[in-house]
């Protein structure tokens, strides 16, 4: 456990709240302490109210903020005395507690305060830090976890049994703190939940957290339960693309909507999935109930999704009856899959969600292995986990999550993606929620976009080997393929037929036609497994219906590709795959059209550059984005019953018309 405090950086902070932000970010940088919105921090201060009176205020982390990137605006100011009065009530429902927190903020536009705000309020220290430290949970999630915690810390921490976060937990913590806290108390351990530290200033509270967690780590090391090496195993053959796509289809059917499935096959994950005791150690429950909303109660072992769903429904039915509203929200699809061949697969409604699941379960594996090495992993009883999974407050968050984007959970592959129409297609698909695999011979494609939902790969599409490798990488990252945009191609310099060399003809055909045949063939088995049906968009050319002189190779290659698309539409309709073509013309915002080339072509026709760009029936300029937006719409619901279509995107070309 590393202490990241820097005196110079701390000195640059202006006031108590900025110091609170500073140390919160230090905690957030260490993923063994907090993950994806987990943990919370607070500071007690005084502020003048509207009447000029000094008023005690608790600034506590707001819902939806991550400690690693939190800002001052991420803390909710709540009237401290009101929180302390709430703690004295004999009972308080969760909805009313949230109502009280919201109605007693001093700033109306602040985020919703943490549900643990009352707990922070009752601790008699200005600064309070709370994390879900892996080391602490590894120790508490054992049969004798409480005894071990008391052995490690003695009277320096108050020990609190597990209670679901909220008012009841705050009341219990207040009672335990009053009964057990003494002159040496610097923290509080919540069994199966996490740890609190507190202090008179930001540095003291932060360094106490680091010190307390370091003691837990040292304890695990002393018992050879910290670094649990992967178990060597023989390789199990897996056909990644097909296996992932079939698994993703089954998962998506169980959920009722498309899902992203990300494979993690490093030694850690494969070794864990292949353990002899995996059916025991993985099927008890999450490391902490805070993770159940993201990762579900249990991972799926193997690939029998139907059996998992049946078991989940029985588990659901075995608990006290729920309101019909909650029953309709039941999504029985697992969020983690452990398979001896695939390793660990993380499942989410988006690539971002799947990445969060992967992070959380990666830490869960560490916790399970350490607890097992310490004597045996033991999660909370199923009822406690169930109560969090269907907690009013968590379900309310889900309801407020908003509508999914049109392509959420779906995967697109775009060729020729580094510039022009291809790049615009990537952007149009991303903004609609798709995860995108972008291929281009230009290495710039790799770093062209950031984010969990983008994978840029340098790939020469004339190499079948390179494409198969790229396709496999895409399937490992996202799990399947729903949309294919065939955009890559070349437009050679003008050349009349009598001067056209065989090598040039073959080069154009190889890139514009042969490569696309190979792509369609290799992608077909994956498109066939798309949850909503596969979609292919071919970026053709005006030269298909209206070729021009000097472009024999280009026109012929595009016409042949168009004919290939028409045959595919006939053959693949039975597989629920639809194929449509776009025929753009005079799209000048691409790498081919430099200002100098544009000016020269405009002069050749006796036009200004602007007139040349708009030299069509509608007198409008056609951009890469115009083509891309229509390509994306062709993959959407508006064209769900259209296949084999050819659509011009040219502003109206008199020869085409």
Q: What is the pLDDT of residue 518?
A: 97
Record the tokens describing residue 335, joined without a space: 């969020």
CB 240 within 8 A of CB 472: yes
For residue range 178-230, list pLDDT tens digits in order: 999 999 999 999 998 899 999 999 999 999 999 999 999 999 999 999 988 88
pLDDT at 323 over 50: no
Global model pTM greater than 0.85 = yes
Q: Give the start-to-end residue ranges of the domains of the chain.
A: 7-222, 240-394, 411-587+624-649, 592-621
3-class DSSP assignment, residue 351: helix
Q: What is the pLDDT of residue 325?
A: 47
Confidence at 100, pLDDT banded by 50, 70, 90: very high
pLDDT at 564 over 90: yes
Mean pLDDT score of the chain, rounded to an integer? 91
Q: What is the mean pLDDT of residues 27-53?
A: 90
Q: What is the mean pLDDT of residues 299-328?
A: 73
Closest CA to 300 of 255, 257, 267: 255
Common-topology check for domains 7-222 and 240-394: yes
Q: Is 6 exposed, middle or buried (0-12, 13-18, 19+ CB in 10 A)?
A: exposed
pLDDT at 82 over 70: yes
Q: What is the CA radius of gyration of the chain?
A: 30
Q: What is the pLDDT of residue 319?
A: 63
Name the percent of the chain lying above pLDDT 70: 94
pLDDT at 294 over 80: no
Kind of pairing between the strands at 127-131 and 75-79? unpaired
Q: What is the pLDDT of residue 396?
A: 56
For residue range 488-509, list pLDDT tens digits in order: 988 887 789 999 999 999 999 9
Number of alpha carbons in the 13 Å side-chain half-sphere of residue 472 = 10
CATH 3.20.20.10 fits domain 240-394: no
Q: Using CA atoms, how far apart are residues 517 and 471, in angstroms rounded to an integer?
A: 15
More confident residue, 327 or 482: 482
Q: What is the mean pLDDT of residues 350-376?
A: 93
Closest CA to 24 of 126, 157, 127: 127
Q: Please state the separation of Cα 642 from the chain's center in Å.
A: 32
Q: Which CATH superfamily is domain 7-222 in?
A: Class II aldolase/adducin N-terminal domain (3.40.225.10)
pLDDT at 262 over 70: yes
Question: How many residues make up the chain in this entry?
Answer: 657
Q: What is the pLDDT of residue 633?
A: 97
3-class DSSP assignment, residue 620: coil
Burial 184-194 (b: 16+ CB within 10 A, else e): eebbbbbbbbb
3-class DSSP assignment, residue 208: helix
More confident residue, 475 or 398: 475
Q: Using CA atoms, how far apart are residues 299 and 283, in angstroms rounded to an integer?
A: 7
- Name the strand (E) or helix (H) holding 42: strand 40-48
Q: What are phi and psi of 64, to 5 degrees?
A: 95, -10
Confidence at 402, pLDDT banded by 50, 70, 90: low
pLDDT at 623 over 60: yes
pLDDT at 291 over 80: no
Q: Using CA atoms, how far apart are residues 100 and 95, in angstroms rounded to an integer?
A: 9
pLDDT at 289 over 90: no
More confident residue, 227 or 404: 227
Confidence at 232, pLDDT banded by 50, 70, 90: low
Spatial CB neighbours of 460, under 8 Å, sequence gap ≥ 6: 441, 466
Q: What is the pLDDT of residue 324?
A: 45
Q: What is the pLDDT of residue 388?
A: 66
Kind of pairing between the strands at 577-584 and 646-649? parallel
Confidence at 328, pLDDT banded by 50, 70, 90: very low
Q: Using CA atoms, how far apart are residues 123 and 199, in angstroms rounded to an integer?
A: 10
Cα–Cα–Cα angle for 109, 199, 124, rounded to 5 degrees: 70
Q: Using CA atoms, how far apart are residues 349 and 318, in angstroms rounded to an integer?
A: 27
DSSP result, 75-131? EEEEEHHHHHHHHTSS---HHHHHHHHHHTBS-TTSPPBPTTHHHHHHSSSSEEEEE
pLDDT at 44 over 80: yes
- Which CATH number describes the domain made up of 411-587+624-649? 3.40.50.720
Kind of pairing between the strands at 187-190 and 157-160? parallel
Give, in order, the Cα–Cα distances in Å from 138 to each of 191, 213, 375: 10, 11, 11
């Amino acid at each position: 456990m590393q202490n990241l405090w820097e005196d110079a950086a701390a000195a640059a902070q202006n006031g108590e709240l900025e110091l609170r932000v500073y140390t919160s970010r230090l905690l957030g940088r260490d993923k063994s302490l907090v993950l994806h919105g987990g943990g919370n921090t607070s500071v007690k201060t005084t502020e003048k109210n509207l009447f000029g009176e000094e008023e005690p205020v608790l600034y506590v982390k707001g819902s939806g903020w991550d400690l690693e990137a939190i800002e001052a605006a991420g803390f909710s100011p709540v009237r401290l005395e009101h929180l302390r009065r709430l703690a004295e009530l004999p009972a308080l429902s969760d909805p009313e507690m949230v109502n009280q927190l919201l109605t007693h903020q001093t700033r109306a536009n602040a985020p919703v305060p943490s549900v643990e705000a009352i707990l922070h309020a009752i601790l008699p220290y200005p600064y309070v830090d709370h994390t879900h430290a892996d080391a602490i949970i590894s120790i508490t999630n054992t049969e004798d976890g409480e005894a071990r915690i008391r052995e490690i810390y003695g009277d320096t921490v108050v020990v609190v049994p597990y209670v679901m976060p909220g008012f009841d937990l705050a009341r219990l913590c207040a009672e335990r703190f009053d009964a057990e806290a003494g002159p040496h108390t610097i923290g509080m351990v919540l069994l199966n939940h996490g740890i609190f530290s507190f202090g008179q200033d930001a540095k003291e509270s932060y360094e106490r957290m680091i010190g307390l967690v370091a003691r837990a780590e040292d304890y695990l090391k002393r018992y050879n339960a910290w670094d649990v090496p992967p178990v060597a195993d023989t390789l199990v053959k897996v056909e990644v693309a097909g296996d992932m796509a079939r698994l993703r289809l089954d998962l998506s059917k169980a959920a009722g909507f498309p899902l992203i499935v990300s494979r993690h096959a490093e030694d850690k994950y494969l070794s864990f999935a292949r353990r002899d005791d995996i059916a025991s150690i993985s099927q008890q429950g999450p490391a902490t109930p805070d993770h159940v909303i993201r990762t579900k109660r249990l991972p799926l072992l193997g690939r029998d999704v139907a059996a998992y769903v049946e078991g989940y429904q029985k588990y659901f039915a075995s608990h006290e009856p729920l309101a019909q509203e909650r029953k309709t929200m039941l999504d029985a699809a697992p969020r983690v899959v452990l398979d001896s061949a695939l390793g660990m697969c993380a499942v989410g409604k988006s690539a971002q969600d799947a990445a969060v699941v992967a992070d959380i379960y990666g830490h869960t594996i560490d916790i399970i292995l350490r607890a097992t090495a310490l004597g045996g992993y033991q999660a909370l009883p199923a009822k406690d986990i169930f109560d969090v999974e269907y907690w009013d407050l968590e379900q309310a968050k889900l309801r407020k999550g908003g509508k999914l984007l049109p392509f959420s959970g779906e995967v697109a592959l775009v060729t020729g993606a580094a510039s022009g129409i291809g790049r615009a297609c990537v952007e149009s698909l991303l903004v609609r929620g798709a995860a995108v695999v972008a291929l281009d011979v230009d290495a710039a494609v790799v770093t062209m976009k950031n984010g969990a939902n983008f994978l840029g790969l340098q790939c020469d599409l004339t190499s079948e080997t390179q494409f198969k490798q790229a396709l496999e990488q895409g399937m490992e990252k996202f799990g399947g393929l729903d949309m294919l945009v065939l955009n890559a191609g070349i437009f050679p310099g003008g050349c009349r037929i009598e001067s056209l060399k065989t090598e040039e003809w073959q080069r154009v055909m190889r890139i514009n036609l042969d490569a696309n045949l190979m792509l369609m063939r290799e992608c077909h088995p994956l498109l066939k497994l798309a949850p909503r049906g596969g979609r292919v968009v071919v970026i053709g050319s005006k030269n298909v219906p209206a070729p021009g002189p000097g472009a024999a190779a280009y026109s012929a290659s595009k016409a042949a590709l168009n004919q290939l698309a028409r045959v595919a539409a006939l053959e693949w309709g039975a597989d629920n795959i639809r194929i449509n073509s776009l025929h753009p013309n005079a799209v000048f915002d691409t790498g081919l059209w430099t200002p100098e080339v544009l000016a020269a072509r405009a002069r050749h026709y006796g036009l200004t550059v602007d007139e040349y760009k708009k030299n069509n029936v509608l007198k409008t300029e056609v951009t890469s984005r115009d083509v891309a937006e229509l390509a994306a719409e062709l993959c959407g619901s508006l064209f769900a019953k259209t296949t084999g279509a050819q659509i011009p995107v040219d502003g109206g070309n008199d020869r085409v018309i």
